[in-house]
Structure 1
Amino acid sequence: MERFTNGVPPAASGTAGPPRPGTPDALVLPLASVGGESLARVGGKAVNLGRLAAAGFPVPGGFCLTTEAYRRAAPPELETVARRLDNLGTAGAADRERLARGAREMVGAAAVPEEVDSAVRAAYALLGPGAAVAVRSSATAEDLPFASFAGQQDSFIGVRGPDAVVRAVRACWASLWNDRAVAYRAENGIAHRDAGLAVVVQSLVEARAAGVMFTANPTTGSRSETVVDASAGPGQAVVSGSVNPDHFVLHTATGRLLEFAAGGPGTGAGENGPGTPVLSEARVRELAALGQDAQRLFGAPQDVEWVIDEAHRIWLTQSRAVTTLYPLPEDAADDDAPDGGVPRLYLCATLVQGLTRPLTPAGLALLGQMRNTGGRWRYVNPGLRMYVDLSPMLRSRAGRDAMLRMLPLADGRSAAVFRALLRDPRFARPNGTRGGARPTRQPPAASRHGARRAAGTGSMAALAAGLLPAILRAVARPEAELRRALGYESRLRELLALPEPASPAERLRHAEDLVGRTVDGVVRAALPGPSAGYLMLAAARGLLRGIEDPRRLEAVLRGLPHNVTTEMNLELWAVSAAIGEDAAAREAFARRSPAQLSEDYRAGRLPPAAQARVATFLGRYGDRAVAEIDVGMPRWADQPDHVLGMISNYLRLADPEQSPDRLFAGAADRAEERIRSLVASATARGRLRGRLLEFSLGRVRRLAGLRELPKFYIVEILGEVHRQLAALGAELARSGGVSAPADVFFLDFDEVRVGLRGADLRPLVADRRRLYDVELRRRRIPRLLLADGTDVEAAVLARGHPGSAPPAGGVLAGTAASAGSATGRVRVVNDPVGARLEPGEILVAPSADPGWTPLFMTAGALVMEMGGVISHGAVVAREYGIPAVVGVADATSLLRTGQLVTVDGAAGTITPVPG
C-alpha cells in the first residue's frame, strides 16, 4: 500500500504556518505535528491523527485549532454553568438539559476573538483557494482509553471558504455542550469544568468508498477478528447509520473471510461494478492489515474511519480505542490455542454467585487467599471479576458431561451458551486426553503471601473425604449436628477478636492471617449439616422416582428452619413491627430518607425504640452487605442505609395477612403437609419405602436450612478483615499514603505494608479507582469468555444459534426456579440500596445475593437475569414460597417499572398483561 510520509494528500499539501508549533501562544498547529501534544491542548481526535501521520499512515493534511482558542472565545459565565452541571452529577436530567442549552447558547452567541479568526483564516488559506474541508471537533475528554465519546460532538463535512470554516469552528465549540456530550461526561465521571475543545480542519478526500473498521469484533469481543463496514461515497452515511452498509468479518491472522452481509439500498456500486460488494476481499484484507498497524501503534484495538479516493488510495480519517470490549484474561498473551486450536474457556464465578459488579482489589486479593491453591482450578480476574478456567473440563467427555449437568443448576443461560459452544468445530469433541489439568501456575506476587497461609486447607478432594464421616454423623444425629454447627459461632468470634490497643503492624498481620486460621474450621463445622440435608433430598428424589413428579419436592424446602438469612430477614421484619408500634419512631421512618435515617442512627438521634432495636439487629447481622463477598464493600454496620430503607419498606405493608412472618409460617405448614402427602404415596408402594422417605424428608427439614451458615461465617470473617483494613486506611490517610481511608480497599496486603512504611500510594490507587469506576458502569458481563476476548453468549446470538431468537409476543422465558404464579406491577431494581418495593410488586433484578433478600419478603414474585435452580435467589425464593424465574436475558431492560405482568414460576415465563 502506498504510504505518505508527510501525512498529506498531494493535492492538499502545505502547513498551517506560524506561530511555531509547541509555543504556548500557538493557536494553530499543523496536524502532522500534534501527535506529541497533550490531550488538554489538542483533544483526543487530533492527538491520534497526529500520531498516525507522524508514523507514516495516510492521513489527510490540515491543521488543529487548539483549546486555547476555545478558552479565549468562551464567555466567563460559562464557568458558573459548568460548576452547576458538575454539582448535578448524573441526577436531574431536566436541569442538566436546561443548563446545557444555556451553555450552548452562550458559546454560539459569543464573538470569535480577532486573533483566533485571523489564525483560522491564515491556516485555511494554506490548504488551497476555496478548498473543501472537514471541520471536526476534538474534545479533551474524547478518544480516551475508557470512553471514546464517539459522535458526541459535532463535525461538518464539505465546508468551503474562510467564513464558513469560522462558522463551523464556532458550531463545534457549541457542540461541547449539546445534551448527549454533557450526559456522556456525567455518566463517565468527567468534570464539565475540565472539558475543552480543539478543532481539526482537514482537506476533504473525494470518496469513492468509505466506512469504519474495528480491529476487534465489537459485537463478540473477539480480538482475533476484524470487522469492516463499507458503502460507496462519503463515510458519513455509514457512521450516521443512514445506510445499511456491506458488512465483512475477517479472521485477522489468516485474512479468511468469515462473514459477509450485503448492504441495503443506497450502499452503492462495488469496486467490480453494480451488484458487487463495495469492496473486494483483497481490499478488505488490505484495510485489515492497515488496521493492525494502527492497533500496534496505539497498543489497543482500534475503531478506524477510512476513505478510498477516486484514485483507489486508502486514507485514515480517524482512529480511536474500542472502549466497550471486555478486558482480556491476564494470561491471554500466553494462549496460542495450545490444545489443538482450542482457546481457553473461562466461566465468571462471581457472576454465578449473583454478583454483577466488579470486586475491589482488596476483595480479589482476599478471595485469592480463600481459593484452593493446591487444586486443579486456575482463576483469572479480567474486569475485576473472578473467572475460573474451564479448559480442563473441555478436554474429556466426562468433564463436558459434568458441566452439562452442573451449569443448568447454577445458571441456565450459561448452560445454554455452553451447549451452543460445543457446536463450534473447535470445541466439537475432546482432543483425546482424559481431562487432566495443566499444572497450576505460580499465583501472582500480590496473592502469594496469603496463598501460603491458605495452603493448609489442602486439596478439595482431601477435604471432601475428611467431611464424609461428619456428613454421615449429621444424618444419624441431626440435633447434635445442629448444636455443633450453630455453636461454632462463639469459637469463631474468639478467633476473630484482636486485643486492643493494637499497632498498625499487628492489625495488618491479624487481617492477613485470618483466612488461613479460620476458613478450614468454618468448612468443617458448618458444611456437613447442609450437605447431609441435600444428600437426603437426593435420596428422597430417588425413592419417589416413578411415583411422584420430582417438582413436588420443591414445596418441602419452603419455610426451612435454621436458615440464618431467613432468620435475619424475619428479625428485620420484627424490628419494623416494633418500630411501627411506636408513634415517634414510625413518624421518623415515614418522613426521612434512608440516608437521613442512617445519619441519625450513627449520631444516636433516632427515637429510642428505633435506635435500640436497630443497634441490636446490626450487632448480630452488621457484617452483612450487598455484594458481601467483596471485603471492600461497606458493611451494614458502617452504612445502614439499606437496612433502614427496608424497614421503611416493611412499614408500608398494610395487610397483616401478608406479613412475612405469617407467610413464612404458612409455607412451613404447607411443607409438612406435602411431606405427609408424599410419604402416603410412597407407602402405597411399600411400607419400607414410606418409612425411608419419611426419614429422608425429616432430615431435609432439619438440616437443609443450614445451607446459608457457611457463607454467614465467611462473611463474619470478611467483616473483621474489613474493620481492620478500615483502621489501616485511616492510618494511611493520616500519613498521606492515600487520599482517603477507603482507598485501602484498592490495595493488597503487601501494598498496605509498603504504605505503612511511608510510600505514596495515591497514584496507584487513582489508577485502580479509575478502572473500578469504568467496570462499575459496565452493564454486560460475559458469562463465558474465551482467551481471545470472545463473549461466548454474544457470539452465539450473533451467529443466530437455536434459542437466540427474540421472544414472541412479548413473553420472556427463563429457568423455572420456584413454582407458583403471581400477577403484579414490575419494579426494576439494579441496586437494592435505597430501593423501594411496594408489597406484591414483581422484583426484577440482574442478580441477587443475601444483601438483596430483605426485598424478597414483600415481593409478589422474582425475576432475575442471572441464575439457575440452585442459585441464591432461586433457593431463597423457594424457601419464601414466592414464584421465581431466573436466567431471563436482559430482563432489566426488556421489562419496565410499572408494567403489569404474570410470572409463572413453574413454566419459567413472564407474560405481559394488558392494562
Structure 2
Amino acid sequence: MEQPPGPAAPQQEPQPEPRHALVLALELVGAELLPDVGGKAANLGELLQAGLPVPAGFCLTTHAYRRTTSPAGLDAVHAGLVSTAPDDLPGLARQAADARRRVLAAAVPADIVEAVRNAYTALGPDAPVAVRSSATAEDLPFASFAGQQDTFLNVVGFDAVLAAVRQCWASLWTDRAVSYRASHGISPSTVALAVVVQRMVDAAVAGVLFTANPVTGRRHEAVIDASPGLGESVVSGAVNPDHFVVDSGTQTVLERRIGNKGMEIRPMPGGGTERIELSGAGSQPCLDDAQLAALELLGRRAEVHFGAPQDLEWAIDGGGEVWLTQSRPITTLYPLPERQRIRDGTRVYLCFSLAQGLTRPLTPMGLAVFRLIASSVARAAHFDVPVPHDGPAPYVQAGQRLFFDLTPVLRSAIGRAIVPRVFDVMEARSAAVLRQLFADPRFAVTSRSPWRLLRHIAPVATRARVPESLLRALFRPEAALRRAERFGERFRAALVVPAGSTPAQRLDHVERILGQELFPVVPSILPLPALGFALLAAAGRLLGPDGGPGALQPVLRGLPNNVTTEMDLALWQLASVIRADAGSAAVFEGAVFDETGVSELVRRYRARELPAAVQSGLAGFLSRYGHRAVAEIDVGMPRWSDDPAHILGVLANYLRLEDPGQAPDRQFSRAARDAEAQMGRLAAAAGKRSRLRAALVQAALKRTRMFAGLRELPKYHIVEALAAVRGQLQAIGTELAAAGRITDADDVFFLDLVEARDGLTGKPLHDVVAQRRDAYAQELGRRRIPRVLLSDGTEPEALQNGAAGADPGAAAAGVLTGTPASAGTATAAARVILDPRGAQLEPGEILVAPSTDPGWTPLFLTAGGLVMEMGGPNSHGAVVAREYGIPAVVGVPDATSLIVTGHSITVDGAAGTVVPGAPPAGY
C-alpha cells in the first residue's frame, strides 16, 4: 500500500454531527449512537475515544440504509418473517431471498451517493479500504452476531466502494442473519444496517484476540490466534493458525501451539484479495513474545474501556505497528458471581440451580426468595447473617442462577469426604469436577477437625430431634411414618394467611414462611429416607457377594410413600376415567395440541364447559397437586393451578397409550411385586449364612422400601410453601398494578421482596421491571450452565479431557456414556424435549432431556426409556424411572445436542450407555 492507514486525525473539541447525518467520521461515533451506526462502528469509535490504534475511516449511517430501502417494500418482508416460526428454515430462507432482491434493486438517492463519494475521497485518491457491515443488532453484550453480515476487503475506487455498500446492505438479509435474529427474538422491523469504510492495513500478520479464555472462562488469560497476511484467513477458518495463551498478570506465554499456516490472503493491486500457498510457514511462529505482550496490553485496555472481556480483530503492518480493526463483547462467557469475596482468594461455587434440575434462570423474585431461605438455614446453623434479604455469605448469584460457595468444603477434610459422595448419587458429574479440584493447591485442606462442622450441625439436629427420629424409624417405623404425616398437616396449616390481611401484612406473611416455616421441613423428614438408603447399603454389606448393585436396585422399584409417583399415577387414573367416558375422550381426540388448541381447552376448563369427567377430574387433581409446576423451585413460575395447559397435554399423551400391558399403574404394581420378591430372595440368600443375618437383611430392606420413597417429600412440602408464597405475591402484585406502581400483576415477580415493599409505600417500579424482564429474556437463551464455577471465571469442567468417567474407546465408537440410573435396555425412537410444557411424547419413545424435576415426571409414565444430561442415580429422574421400571441413563454430556429426535437409540440402564442407531427412512 502506498499510504499508511493512519489513525483518524484527533480533534480538540469536535462539533457533534446531527443525529440524522448520512456520514460520520469514526472518531465521532460511540455507544450513544448505536441506532445510527450499528454495533461494529460504535465499538470502533469507542476504541478511538480510548486512544487505541484504529485505521481511519467513516460510517455510512442507518439513515442511508432506511432512505434507500424504504421504497423497496420491506414492510411486507418484515410481516412475513414475524409470521414464520424460528425453526421454519425454508420459510425464513424464502423471506430472506425476497428481502435481498428488494434491497439490491433499490436506487441509491443522489445525496447519499455524493456523501459516500466525499467521505471516500477524503481518505485519499483511490484509497484501498475495507467495507464492513455494521448492524444495529450486532456486537451487542448478549448476542455478538459475529460473521452474520458481509465484509469486503481491499476495495479500490468509488464505484467499487458504492457496490460494496449495496452488498453490505443486502447482507442484512442473509439466511444465517435472518435465522439468527429469529432465534434470538429480534423483530426484523427493528434492525437496520450501517456501513464502515476504513483504510486497509497492509498486514504482515493478523488474527483475533480474546481478552478472556473463551473455552475455560478464565478472565486472566488472553487467547491469540495469528497467521501471515490478512486476518480473514483466521476468522474464516481457512488455516490452522498459531495459537497462544498469555497470562495477563505476568505476560507469561502459557501455551504456544504452532499451526501449519498453509496459505495467506493478500491484497491485490487494483482491488480484491488472493490466496497464496505458503511452504514451510508452519515451522516458525508468526509472533514473537514482544508482539504477544503488545497485543495483550491493547486487548486489556479495550476490556477496561468497555468494562467487559472483548473479542478483537487486529493486524500488524509491515512496519510493525499494531492496529485494531474490530471489537465485540465475548458473549459466550458465563457471568462472574455477584458479591464475590475476592479478598479471600479464588473461590469455588457450585450451581444449586442445576443440582435441582433447573437449567433456566430464576426470576428476580425467585432469587430473592432463596436468599431469604438460605439466610434462615444459615441462622439456624448459628452462622452470622447481617442482612437476611441479601442472603448468607456462601450464597451468590451468577447468570440469574443460584450458586453456593463450596470453598470451605474443599478446604475441609470432612467436607471432602462427605460432599462429593452425596453428589455421586445426586449429580455424578458435579462430584467428578469437585474431586478434580482436590489437587489444586489453592484449595488445599486447612481444616481436619470435625468439631467446626459439628458446632453448626448439632444445634440443627438437636432442634429437629433427628436422633429421636432415627431411633423411632429403626424400631417403630409405622410410628415414624405417622409422625411425618402429622408434620405435613401442621406445616400446611402454617401457610394459611389470615382473612382480611392487608398487602403489607401479606408480605409479612410471605417473609415469615420463608424465614421461619420452611427450614424445619428438611431436618424433620430427610433423616427417614437417608436412613432407608443407609439400610440398603447395610443390607448389601450383610449379603456380601450376593449384594451388589444389580441385586439391590430392584428393591427400589415401585416404592410406596413417594408423593411424586402418587401424583403421576393419580393423573394416569384420571386419564383412565376419561378414556372410559366417550364424550370426555372425544374432547382429546378432536383437539389439536398446538398452542391455540391447548389454550382453547384451558379456556373451556376455566369456563366449566368441559364434560363432567374431565371438568371434575381435572379440578380434583389440581386441588391436590396444582401447587406443582415445571421449574417449580422458582416462585415466579406459574403453577399447574394457574395454567393447566401442561397437564392437559400430558393427559392427551396418556390417552394415546393403547397397549393395556403397558399401562403405568400395572407396571408400577408389577414393579412393587418384583421388589417384594427380590427382598425374599435376598433374605433367603443371607439365610444360607445364618438366620440372624437373614432377619437383619429382611428388616433393613423392609425399612428401605418404607422410607426411601420419602426422599421426594421435603421438596413437595417446600413447593407447597412456595405456591402459598406465590399466591400472596400475586395478590400484592394485583394491588401494585391497581395503584399504578407496576403495569401487570405478574410484574411483581421481577422485583425482590424489598422492592415490593417499596412499591407498597408508593415507589413506582416500571423501569426496574422493564430492565429485569429484558435481562431475564436474554438469560433464557443460555444453554451451557457450569456445574462448578471459580471466582475468576474458570469452568473446571472445561479443563477436563472429556466427561468424567467417559470411556474413550466407547466415545470413539459413537457410544454416549453416563451414570447408570435404572436397569434394563430399551431400543426406540428418541424424543429430545427441552421444555415439557406442551411436549408430545409418543408411547414407547425414549425421552431425552437436559434435566428433570417432578414437573417432568408425568411424561415418564409413557416413556420407553430416559436419557438426561444432568443427574445421578438418586436424582429425581432416576428415582422415578426406577419406580416405573424404565431404563435410564443420567449425566450424559450434551445428550440433547448429540441425539436427534426420531433417530433410534438403545439405552442400557445398567451399563450407563446410550448407543445411537440409524435414522429412520426419510431422515
Q: What's the counterpart of residue 373 of structure 1?
A: 378
Cα pair 2:59 2:197 within 8 Å, conserved = yes
Is residue 508–residue 725 contact of structure 1 (8 Å, CA) maintained in 2?
yes
What does residue 348 of structure 1 align with? 351
**Compared CA separation, residues 12 and 857, structure 1 to 2 (3 A):** closer
* 1:39/1:47 contact within 8 Å kept: yes
Q: Which of these residues, 143, 156, 178, is aligned with residue 152 of structure 2?
A: 156
**What is the CA distance between 1:95 and its match in structure 2?**
2.6
For 1:178, the equivalent position in structure 2 comes to: 174
Matched, 1:116 2:112: yes
In structure 1, distance between residues paired with 2:525 and 2:53: 66
Give the match's secondary structure for 2:287: coil
Change (3 A) 1:67 1:798: farther
Do 1:523 and 1:710's aligned partners in 2 also have CA atoms closer than 8 Å? yes
| Distance of 2:278 and 2:309 partners within structure 1 | 27
Decide whether aligned partners of structure 1 residues 95 and 501 sit closer, same or farther in structure 2, where only a CA change above 3 A counts.
farther
Q: Distance in 1 between matches of 2:771 and 2:810?
A: 40
Report SS of the residue matched to 2:794. Answer: coil
Which residue does the alignment assign to 1:873?
877
Q: Show the counterpart of 1:283.
A: 291
Q: From 429, 441, 448, give the equivalent of 1:434.
A: 448
C-alpha displacement of 1:634 = 0.5
Question: 1:249, 1:259 within 8 Å by CA — same for their partners in 2?
Answer: yes
Query: Which of 396, 400, 406 is the aligned partner of 1:384?
Result: 400
Corresponding residue for residue 213 of structure 1: 209
What is the match of residue 498 of structure 2?
A: 499
Measured after TM superposition, the shift of residue 282 of structure 1 is 1.8
The aligned residue for residue 432 of structure 2 is 416
Structure 1 SS opposite 2:45: helix
Moved more, 32-41 or 486-495: 486-495
Aligned with residue 38 of structure 1, among 33, 37, 47: 33
TM-score, length of structure 2 as denominator length: 0.91
Deviation track 1:232-256 (CA, whole Å, cap 9, x = no partner) reads: 0000111111111111111111111
In 1: Cα distance, 2:293 partner to 2:452 partner = 36
Q: How does 1:279-318 map to 2 (within 5 A)?
A: 279-318=287-326
TM-score (structure 1 length as normaliser)? 0.92
Mapped to 1, the partners of 2:674 and 2:546 lie a distance apart of: 20
Q: What is the match of residue 270 of structure 2?
A: none
Query: Who is 1:818 aligned against?
Result: 822
1:49 and 1:271 mapped to 2: Cα distance? 35
**Aligned-pair CA distance for 1:510:** 1.6
Cross-structure match for 1:549: 548
- The more displaced of 389-398 and 844-853 is 389-398
Partner of 2:246: 250
Aligned twin of 1:93: 89
1:436–1:130 distance in 2 versus 1, CA, 3 Å: farther
In the superposition, relative to structure 1, how do residues 259 and 346 fare at CA in structure 2: closer, same or farther (>3 Å)? Answer: same
Are the counterparts in 1 of residues 6 and 56 from structure 2 also a CA contact under 8 Å?
no
Aligned to 1:467: 466
String of CA shifts for 1:504-529, please: whole Å, max 9, x gaps.
Answer: 22222222221234224434553343
Q: Summarize the alignment of residues 812-851 of structure 1 with structure 2, pairs less than 5 Å apart.
A: 812-851=816-855
Tell me, in whole angstroms, the C-alpha distance in 2 between the residues paired with 1:273 and 1:823. Answer: 51
Q: Is the CA contact (8 Å cut-off) linking 1:392 and 1:435 kept in structure 2? A: no
Per-residue Cα deviation, 1:702-733 (whole angstroms, up to 9, x for no partner): 22222211111111111111111112222222
User: What is the identity, as a one-letter code, of the residue corresponding to 1:420?
Assistant: Q
Cα drift, residue 42 of structure 1 = 1.0
Distance in 2 separating the partners of 1:495 and 1:13: 70
Counterpart selection for 2:629 from 622, 625, 632: 625
Cα distance between partner residues in 2 of 1:400 and 1:803: 25
* Aligned counterparts of 1:61 and 1:621: Cα–Cα separation in 2: 65
1:727 maps to which of 731, 749, 758: 731
Deviation string 1:60-117 (CA, Å, 9 cap, x unpaired) is 0011111111111113421232234234463533332222222221111100111111
Q: State how far apart, in whole Å, the 2-side matches of 1:267 and 1:402 are.
A: 55
- Secondary structure at the counterpart of residue 634 of structure 2: coil
- Stretch of structure 1 that moved more, 401-410 or 47-56: 401-410
3-state SS of 1:901 partner: strand
* Paired residues for 1:626-705 under 5 Å: 626-705=630-709
Identify which range, 659-668 or 825-834, moves more after superposition.
Answer: 825-834
**Closer, same or farther: CA 885–506 of 1 in aligned 2, 3 Å:** same
Check conservation: 2:19, 2:36, Cα contact below 8 A: no
SS of 2:838 mapped into structure 1: coil
Distance 2:581 2:234 in 1: 65
Match of 1:807 among 787, 806, 811: 811
Encode CA deviations 1:309-367: one digit per residue, 9 max, x unaligned: 111100000111111100001144x42663xxxx2111112211211111111111112
Alignment partner of 1:198: what SS? strand
Counterparts of 2:821 and 2:804, CA distance in 1: 26
Amino acid at match of 2:586: E
Q: Which moved more, 1:188-197 or 1:880-889?
A: 188-197
**How far, CA to CA, are the matches of 2:436 and 2:511 in structure 1?**
42
Unaligned ranges ≥5, structure 2: 265-276, 384-392
> What residue is the counterpart of 1:454 in the other structure?
none
SS state of the match for residue 816, structure 1? strand
Equivalent position to 2:139, from 135, 139, 143 = 143
- Cα distance in structure 2, aligned partners of 1:226 and 1:530: 49
Secondary structure of 2:155's aligned partner: strand
Q: CA deviation at 1:501?
A: 3.5
Matched residue count: 881
> Contact 1:797–1:804 at 8 Å: present in 2 too?
no
Q: 1:134·1:201 contact (CA, 8 Å) conserved in 2?
A: yes
SS at match of 2:107: coil
Higher mean C-alpha deviation, range 613-622 or range 186-195: 186-195
- 2:362 corresponding residue in structure 1: 359
Offset at residue 906 of structure 1 (A): 0.8
State the distance in 1 between where 2:282 and 2:876 align: 58
Q: Distance in 2 between matches of 1:438 and 1:192?
A: 59
User: Match of 1:768, as an amino acid?
Assistant: R
Of residues 635-644 and 722-731 in structure 1, the stretch that sits farther from structure 2 once superposed is 722-731
Residue 804 to residue 318, structure 1, CA distance change in 2 (3 Å): farther
Equivalent in 728, 753, 765 of residue 749 of structure 1: 753
Alpha-carbon contact 1:232-1:270 (below 8 Å) kept: no
Return the alpha-carbon distance in structure 2 between the equivalents of residues 546 and 522 of structure 1.
38
**What letter matches 2:362 in structure 1?**
L
Q: Secondary structure at the match of 2:498?
A: coil
Q: Contact 1:589–1:597 (CA<8 Å) still a contact in 2?
A: no
Equivalent residue number for residue 223 of structure 2: 227
C-alpha RMSD over aligned residues: 2.6
After the TM superposition, which residues 476-625 of structure 1 pair with which residues of structure 2 at under 5 Å, given as runs? 476-523=475-522, 525-592=524-591, 593=593, 594-625=598-629
- Structure 1 unaligned runs (5+)? 1-7, 440-457
Between 1:269-278 and 1:548-557, the stretch displaced more is: 269-278
**2: CA distance, partners of 1:889 / 1:500:** 50
Three-state SS of the structure 2 residue aligned to 1:386 is strand
Q: Deviations over 1:741-783 (max 9, x none)?
A: 2221111111001112222212212222222122211111111
* Structure 2 residue identity aligned to 1:300: A
The answer to whether the 8 Å contact 2:150/2:171 transfers is yes
For residues 827 and 271 of structure 1, do their structure 2 counterparts lie closer, same or farther at Cα, with a shift above 3 Å needed?
Answer: closer
One-letter amino acid matched to 1:111: A
Would the aligned equivalents of 1:536 and 1:699 in 2 still touch at CA under 8 Å?
Answer: yes
Q: Give 1:769-808 correspondences, 5 Å limit.
A: 769-797=773-801, 807-808=811-812
Q: Is the 8 A contact 2:461 2:523 kept in 1?
A: no
What secondary structure is seen at the aligned counterpart in 2 of 1:843?
Answer: strand
Moved more, 29-38 or 821-830: 29-38
